[in-house]
Amino acid sequence: MHRRALPRLSSVSTAIRPAPRRYKSSNARPLATKSKGIGENAISETLRAVLSPEACELLRGGKKKKDKKLTIEPHIARTEAVESLEKRKFDALEDTSQEPIFLFDDTDGNIAPVRDRRFEAGTLVEIRRNGTRFMAVVLYTLLIDGTWLVHSLASEGVVWMHREQDVQFQLPEFVSKKLAEQCGIAEHTESEQELDARVQICRRLRSFEKRFEYDVNKVFEKARVIDFYDQVCLPDAWVDITVDEAAKKLLEGRPHITPTEKLAVQTYLLDCGPEFVVSNRRFLETQKIHVRPRCDIENIQAIRHMCITHHPVIDAFAEKARALILEYRRREVESWQETPSRHPLEGVEFTEVEKSILRFLVSSIPVTRAIQADFHLTPVAHILKKVGMYTADNYDDFMLRKLLVEMGVLAPWEEAITRDPTRLKRVEQDPLLVGPRAPTPLVPQVLGPDDLYPQDIVESLRHDFGNTPVYVVDDWNAEELDDGVSVERDALNPDYTWLHVHIADPTTLLPPTHRIAQKAFHMAETRYLIDRTEPMLPRDLFHQFSLGNTPGEPDRVLTFSAKVSPNGEIVDYKVRPAIVRNVRKVRYEEGDALLGTESPRAHYPFGQVPPPIPKPRDPSAFEPSVKEDFNLLHETSVRLRQARLLKGAVGIVSPTVEMTLSPRPFPEDLLGRSDYQPSVFRGFPDFVYGVNRFREVGARFIVAESMKLAGRVASCFLRDRNIPALRRSVGPLQSEFVGGVEEMLTERDEEGIVDYTRSLAFRVSAPSARYVTTPGMHSLLGISEGEGYVKVTSPLRRFGDTFAHWQIKHALLAEAGEKASPVLFPKTWVEELGIELELREADNKLVEKVQNQYWALLFLDRWMRDPAAAQRTHDPLQELSGWMAAQPSLNARTKEARSKVRVNQLGLMATLDELSDSDYLEVGTPLKLKVRQVKLGVRPELVMVPA
């Protein structure tokens, strides 16, 4: 946090000082904690659950008990002191790329790409950042300015404030929660009890550290003796290893591995050198380490030696690079309006040694996390300085990418977020076994990894919907049509409606034992990228299950039906394999016209528009019964939504960037060469910058509400049969302000929507969505505890949905007379699958988001550098404004404050620089902005400054 924006209150930790000064804007609000006491009812339940009774009493304004004085140990007794160099190093270069968790993804409730963990008080943690490493015991965690901040007591008696993602090792219940709570919430002890509690914890920590020092020396020596890296590496491919797997090799023969030994093994893997690279995301959960190939290590060592010894080959390389860069800059302007092309480079030859330098530079593109030393950093800076064409305070991946593009090693349109620029192989470990290990109703006979179902195993159970119209509503360019809806009034009570959701059924052909299923689990879902689509299931085999794919032929589906009451409650349900014979394809624009609703349209701030879509059919082209069905679908959907809103459902929306690229898919032969030989690139692909404000209205609203309904019905079906399932769950919303959640809910419109910039004032956040096996609540969707929500509507593109279809079919077969339990997979196995799937889906989501931002910033970069920019009569970048999305954070090394700002005109989150010492701006404060810099790398960043 921006420490200069905080007053010096000796009684409270710097993390929770309310800082009246920082609320400079007119709509400022007080925090729940005040230095003079805040009253009995002002302390939120969340705060009461974290803090001790004594702390709550202090916050209410009560008096401290007078305790006897103790003889204070020197390492505990401290006065206000200047920060240590270690602390400054820890706070320097703080990663500002993470967005505050006020951001909501309305489609599924994922709040942030990093899963929140909520470490229990009394947990021992190892904390790493910027080369600083220490152990501490968690005292408490508070949500402050949209970030969960952990306060932990180190062995020297200092309370450190850090983020959850700084924790790389945890040992729960290292000390009791009660003892941790007795330490108080102040930076320094204020009572005999607090002092005694901290002394006890520090002594235990020191004992743990001594044992750890012994074990880490033992592990490093063992690794040296057995040549551990040689045992686990491959010659020319990456491979993964977990900390537990490494511990078994390094501590072979040990019947039990202690926590200090496991931490020692992890320390070896993270600190020994460039051989091991920590997984970029969720290391605490995965414990996954990437092992560099031997060829990569040998190349790193060779290049580092060249730089240290000032080898003349570096100078020769730099001279060739300068010539290529100058030629590229001339050619870029000349071919600005041309279509993209690649040509051989003539007249410049790179020796094998010089190609090894290029290979080293390319392998440097992936960013090393701040918890590890970056062994590429110094040689890359040395080479960039030798080339002499770039000036910067820090040589980062943005500058490195620019060098490789201007040399022709990477194409100007090539990104390293979804493509591996090193072109090295990666050996994937066998994924979690998906198929049952014994014959079951779902797999009644032994099937090999290449065997599909010889026949439809639920053929006898399928319900025939006859000529009932099934409406498949989607975009013009939808690649998989995996859901349709039909509707009818209840025969006995017309006020009640049966809504049927029909889902494509690829499990008609695909058993869980097939290698395609194993690959689908590894992918987790289809990836819809800007330049291409990577399908989860092979299109040549499974596109036949896309609804309406073969006109005149019936479609096999899995149907989720619900009887909806006039007040929007589900009073009955059915889940059936089915056959539908009357599929009617309706595009969103056509459905909106039938409903008399205006279709939402994207905004194109820079003038270009994507190719026009085919003209939608006029409502008069549909028979009257179709319009009647759509009106009934909409009426039923409104009922369902109103019932969810009464249970707290809310959607937080903000404009998002939507990039359109042509050609798509982008040709692979227009990318950089795999042998690192530079090429000549000309022109650039066409792309369009759009800003979309996501709203579920009209036909889109019908589809979205129907899909939610199907997920609720699936959960009830599995719940009533005691079948553990992968349910998506989001816990209760919470706010930094007392009553903040309730106030925000009053701001919802009739659709349950709150504008993102308005929601900032309430500081509301929610736990990250996660998989649970019991019917948990989903606060954002308004789904109650005990009902639950299972994703089942996209089996062609999401593995979790496919997995749920297998479970449901198995249960239906068991109920139909098969002698088997309805439970296909045990609960512990499903829980393990949920953890794996959650990690893979989160990675995919983050990659898609970052790639979208990369292409958006690439557009902005070209817009600002366009040779014809002077001829424009209007430039949207000159009229930008935004909203503060987080409190400023002070970089202890540079003494500069940075923050996050939301720019709605661009649909982007940007970094805000050049904040003055007097800028104590509240989250949600509007600002005039201008672009300072566009950084294009694996972590693309738009840097802005106040206008």
Residue spans of alpha helices (H) in 552-623 = 588-595
Q: Which among 555, 706, 572 has a CA at the least distance from the CA of 630?
A: 706
DSSP state letters, 652-665: EE--EEEEEEESSS
Under the banding of pLDDT at 50, 70 and 90, the label for residue 101 is very low
Q: What is the pLDDT of residues 754-769, one digit of tens each?
A: 988 888 888 888 888 8
Under the banding of pLDDT at 50, 70 and 90, the label for residue 431 is low
Q: Please report, as a single letter, which amino acid is at residue 91.
A: D
The confidence score (pLDDT) of residue 427 equals: 66
β pairing state of 463-464 and 570-580: parallel
667 close to 681: Cβ distance less than 8 angstroms: no
**Site of tokens 């967005």:** 99
Under the banding of pLDDT at 50, 70 and 90, the label for residue 371 is confident
**What average pLDDT does range 313-317 have in this prediction?**
96
Kindly report the average pLDDT of the chain as a whole number: 85
Domain spans of the chain, in order of start: 112-220, 295-429, 459-611+625-664+685-731+766-848, 869-946
**What average pLDDT does range 406-416 have in this prediction?**
94
Q: CA-CA distance, 797 to 482, in Å (whole number)?
A: 9
Q: What is the pLDDT of residues 669-689, one digit of tens each?
A: 999 888 888 999 999 999 999
116 secondary structure, DSSP code: P
pLDDT at 946 over 60: yes
211 close to 264: Cβ distance less than 8 angstroms: no
Q: What is the pLDDT of residues 786-825, one digit of tens each?
A: 999 999 999 999 999 999 999 999 999 999 887 678 888 8
Under the banding of pLDDT at 50, 70 and 90, the label for residue 420 is confident
**What average pLDDT does range 330-345 have in this prediction?**
95
The confidence score (pLDDT) of residue 435 equals: 59
Q: Look at 353 and 52; give whichever has higher pLDDT.
A: 353
Q: Look up the CATH number of domain 112-220.
A: 2.30.30
Q: CA-CA distance, 534 to 527, in Å (whole number)?
A: 5
Q: What is the pLDDT of residues 109-155, one digit of tens each?
A: 333 333 455 789 999 999 998 778 899 999 998 877 667 889 999 99
Q: What is the pLDDT of residues 192-243, one digit of tens each?
A: 999 999 999 999 999 999 999 999 999 999 999 999 999 999 998 899 999 9
Q: What is the pLDDT of residues 8-44, one digit of tens each?
A: 223 333 333 332 222 223 333 333 333 333 444 445 5
Under the banding of pLDDT at 50, 70 and 90, the label for residue 831 is very high
**Going by CATH, does the domain composed of 869-946 fall within 2.70.98?**
no
The confidence score (pLDDT) of residue 213 equals: 95
Q: CA-CA distance, 867 to 329, in Å (whole number)?
A: 12
Q: What is the pLDDT of residues 934-943, one digit of tens each?
A: 999 888 999 9
Q: Is 423 left (phi over 0), alpha (psi -120 to 50) or beta?
A: left
Q: Which helix (H) or strand (E) holds 90?
A: helix 85-91
Q: What is the pLDDT of residues 46-97, one digit of tens each?
A: 555 555 555 566 555 554 444 433 333 333 333 344 456 566 666 655 444 4
Q: CA-CA distance, 521 to 806, in Å (whole number)?
A: 13
542 close to 794: Cβ distance less than 8 angstroms: no
pLDDT at 474 over 80: yes
Q: Which residues contact 219 (CB under 8 A, 6 or more apart)?
A: 250, 251, 261, 264, 265, 267, 268
Q: Is 677 helix (H, G, I), strand (E, B) or coil?
A: coil
Q: CA-CA distance, 907 to 655, in Å (whole number)?
A: 5
